[in-house]
Chain A
Amino acid sequence: GENVEQHPSTLSVQEGDSAVIKCTYSDSASNYFPWYKQELGKGPQLIIDIRSNVGEKKDQRIAVTLNKTAKHFSLHITETQPEDSAVYFCAASSRYIPTFGRGTSLIVHP
């Protein structure tokens, strides 16, 4: 089955800095890669996703990149703000059920 590794487990940045979270996956059949943001006491929220026919996707301060050859994908957050503080999960799927990474706790210091 699919195995998703996510790094780092904790990321601490100053407000205004950039943050990068990286994930690798094992199943070459995976073709959909969503990212979720989970704030304290809430369910995970889908914030951006990328499909295997695309190498990069951007939405305001958030961007995702995908390297299918190397089987890794990354989330980039620019100009971080305190409200970006949350746990971020990457996932990879080839059919209906994604496999999730272990999560990255992002802390943005004002």
Chain B
Amino acid sequence: SAVISQKPSRDICQRGTSLTIQCQVDSQVTMMFWYRQQPGQSLTLIATANQGSEATYESGFVIDKFPISRPNLTFSTLTVSNMSPEDSSIYLCSVQRQGAYNEQFFGPGTRLTVL
């Protein structure tokens, strides 16, 4: 498996502000993903974080709202911009390792509340 840490673990923010979430992995991984999990719901993929290039976004998610960086093989950030109460959710970082046959591991999540 992979050890994944996220910062912050939780935050309460005012509407209109932005929050950047960090994801750090203990080993080099090929794929990094960002998911959103709304209360009591399943996991929705926001985007695939690509090292050294723009992230690949899923339908319904745009770069202006969720800018993502991945400067190297062990670190990524997700920013939630111009937040509204509808952005209140758990944001999860996830990774796959090369040759791991699709095994995917999740970080502990960042619980975001927007007032």
A residues apposed to B, CB below 8 Å:
32, 34, 36, 41-46, 49, 51, 89, 93, 95-98, 100-103
Contact = CB atoms under 8 A, between A and B. Distances in A.
B67 interface: no
Contact of A45 (B31, B33, B106): B106
Contact of A96 (B92, B96, B105, B109): B96
A34 B104 contact: yes
Given A43-B4, A96-B48, 20 more contacts: A32-B101, A32-B102, A34-B103, A41-B111, A42-B108, A43-B107, A43-B108, A46-B104, A46-B105, A49-B103, A51-B101, A89-B42, A89-B43, A95-B102, A97-B33, A98-B102, A101-B42, A102-B41, A102-B42, A103-B41
A96 B31 contact: yes
Interface size class of B (residues with CB under 8 A): 20 to 34
Contacts of A36: 106
Given A96-B96, A100-B43, A43 B106 contact: yes
Contacts of B14: none
A97 B102 CA distance: 8
B45 interface: yes
Nearest to B93: A43
A32 B102 CA distance: 7
B82 interface: no
B20 interface: no
Contacts of B33: 97
A46 B43 contact: no
Nearest to A43: B106
B17 interface: no
Interface string B81-109: 00000000000100010000111111111
A104 to B, nearest CB: 11
Given A42-B108, A44-B92, A46-B105, A97 B1 contact: no
